[in-house]
Amino acid sequence: MASVTYDHVVKRYTADVTVVKDFNVEIKDKEFMVLVGPSGCGKSTALRMLAGLEAITEGQIRIGDRVVNNVAAKDRDIAMVFQSYALYPHMSVYDNMAFPLQMQRMPKSDIDKRVKNASRILGLDNFLKRKPRALSGGQRQRVALGRAIVRSPKVFLLDEPLSNLDAKLRGQTRIELQKLHRDLETTFIYVTHDQVEAMTMGDRIAIMNAGILQQVGTPGDIYDHPANLFVAGFIGSPTMNFVPVTTSDSTAKASGFEVKLPKSVPAGKGTLGFRPESVTDRISDQTGTLDMKVDVVERLGSDQFLYGQVGSDSVTARVDPKMKVEPGDTVHLGLDTRTLHLFDSQTEQALI
C-alpha cells in the first residue's frame, strides 16, 4: 500500500524519439488509477518505467516516499499482470503462483498458505496441478492475477489484462477486478486503450496522447468537462459531435443551426462539441433546435441513435427508442445548451 508519484518523468529512446513527455501524476494510496490512450501514446511505457522494465530518462518516480529510479524491478515491491499473462508454460498453476515467493526464499509452509489463499480468492482451487495450456483464457488470466496477489505488493500494475478475453468474459472480469481492488485495499494502476474499461473501473483516469498527459480526473469529471478536443473525442461512445462554428458574444453559428452558449466567449472561430445524448427529441426552453436529415438509424432496444447531416456537418443524436424515424426523414431535434462544449480552433483547449 503506497502512493505513486510521477514527477516530471520523461522517456526518450533517441534524441528525436520521446515517448513520454513531462509526465506528472500523483496516484493516491489504494486508488484505482487507469492510464488510457490510443496505442502508442506512451501509457505502457509509463507503466513499464514504474515496473522497472524501462529506464527513466528524466524525472523521478516515487513509490511512497522512496525514489525508485535506480531500484531493481524485484525490489520495488510491485507486481505486474501482463497483457499476454506471461505464465511459465512448463510449470503448474501452483508453481506459477509460488515462483515469486520462492525467489524471495520464503519458507515452504508460508508459500503454501499464500498460494492456497490466492487460489481460493480467485476460484482456482481445482486447477492448481494443471499446466497453463490446459486452462481457458479466463483461467490463465486469473493465474496471472494470482501470481501478483501472492506477493501482497504495494502496487498492482496491470497492462491491458483484459484484451485477450472475449467480450462477455471481459465484462465479468471487469467487475471481478473491481471487487478484488476493494478486497485487497491496494493501489492499482491499470493501462488500457479501451475507454469503457477506463470509465467503468477507474477511481480516476489519466488520459494520454502522443506521450503527453492530457487530463487527470474522475470518470464523471472527464466525461462532463473534457479539457481539450482530444479528451472529448476519446471518451464516450458514440463519440462527441464536433461542429465548426463561428462565435460572437454568446451565440455559436454552425452551417445548419445556431445555439446560445451558456456563457459569452470572444468572437471568432471554434469547434462546438456536444454528446449524442444532448441531441434528443425533447424540446424545451433549455434547448436550442436543429433540423437533421437522417442517414442511418441504429436501434439498440434501450436507445436509438440517428446519424445524419445538419447543414453540412455530421451529427449523431440519441433519441427515444419509441420515436419512429426512417432514413431519409428530416427530424426536428432539441440540443441541450447546458452540456455544450466549445474548443479553441487553434489550441484545441476547452473554452466552455
Partner 1 sequence: MSVATATRQESLAVPFSPRWLAERLSGAVLHVVVIGLTVAWMVPAIGLLITSLRLPSDIANSGWWTALSPPFKFTVDNYSQMLQASNLGQGFFNSFMISIPAVIIPVTIAAFAAYAFSWMKFPGRDWIFLALVGLLAVPLQLTFIPVTTVFVKLGFTPDHLTAIGLPPFIPLWLAHAGYGLPFSIYLLANFFRALPSDLFESAEIDGAGMLTVFFRIVVPLSVPAIASLVIFQFLWVWNDLLVALIYVGGTPNVAPVTVSLVNLVGSYGQNYQLLTAAAFFSMIVPLVVFLSLQRYFVRGILAGSVKG
Three-state SS sequence of the chain: CCCEEEEEEEEECCCCCEEEEEEEEEECCCCEEEEECCCCCCHHHHHHHHHCCCCCCEEEEEECCEECCCCCHHHCCEEEECCCCCCCCCCCHHHHHHHHHHHCCCCHHHHHHHHHHHHHHHCCHHHCCCCHHHCCHHHHHHHHHHHHHCCCCCEEEEECCCCCCCHHHHHHHHHHHHHHHHHHCCEEEEEECCHHHHHHHCCEEEEEECCEEEEEECHHHHHHCCCEHHHHHHCCCCCCEEEEEEEECCEEECCCCEEECCCCCCCEEEEEEECHHHEECCCCCCEEEEEEEEEEEEECCCCEEEEEEECCEEEEEEECCCCCCCCCCEEEEEEEHHHCEEEECCCCEECC
Distance in Å from the first CA to the final CA of the chain: 38
Contact range with partner 1 by CB under 8 A, out of 2-10, 48-56, 197-205, 326-334: 48-56
Q: Which is nearer to partner 1, 104 or 312 (CB)?
A: 104
52 touches partner 1 by CB under 8 A: yes
The residue from 57, 69, 152, 164 that contacts partner 1 (CB under 8 A) is: 164
In 3D space, the residue among 213, 202, 158, 187 whose CA is nearest the CA of residue 9 turns out to be 213
Residue 51: CB minimum distance to partner 1, A: 6
Query: Please, which of residues 68-127 interact with partner 1 by CB under 8 A?
Result: 73-74, 78-80, 82-90, 99-100, 103-104
135 touches partner 1 by CB under 8 A: yes
The residue from 68, 118, 145, 165 that contacts partner 1 (CB under 8 A) is: 165
The residue from 18, 44, 119, 141 that contacts partner 1 (CB under 8 A) is: 141
Q: How many residues bind partner 1 (CB under 8 A)?
A: 33
Q: With contact defined as beta carbons under 8 Å apart, do 259 and 333 qualify? A: no
247 touches partner 1 by CB under 8 A: no
Residue 89: CB minimum distance to partner 1, A: 4
Residue 185: CB minimum distance to partner 1, A: 21
Q: Which is nearer to partner 1, 13 or 88 (CB)?
A: 88
Q: Which is nearer to partner 1, 21 or 66 (CB)?
A: 66
Contact range with partner 1 by CB under 8 A, out of 111-119, 130-138, 192-200, 301-309: 130-138
Q: Which is nearer to partner 1, 134 or 175 (CB)?
A: 134
Q: What is the CB neighbour count within 10 angstroms for residue 103?
A: 10
13 touches partner 1 by CB under 8 A: no
140 touches partner 1 by CB under 8 A: yes
Q: Which is nearer to partner 1, 135 or 229 (CB)?
A: 135
Q: Which is nearer to partner 1, 53 or 210 (CB)?
A: 53
158 touches partner 1 by CB under 8 A: no
Residue 58: CB minimum distance to partner 1, A: 21
**Residues that bind partner 1 in the complex, under the rule CB under 8 A:** 51-53, 73-74, 78-80, 82-90, 99-100, 103-104, 131-137, 140-141, 147, 164-165
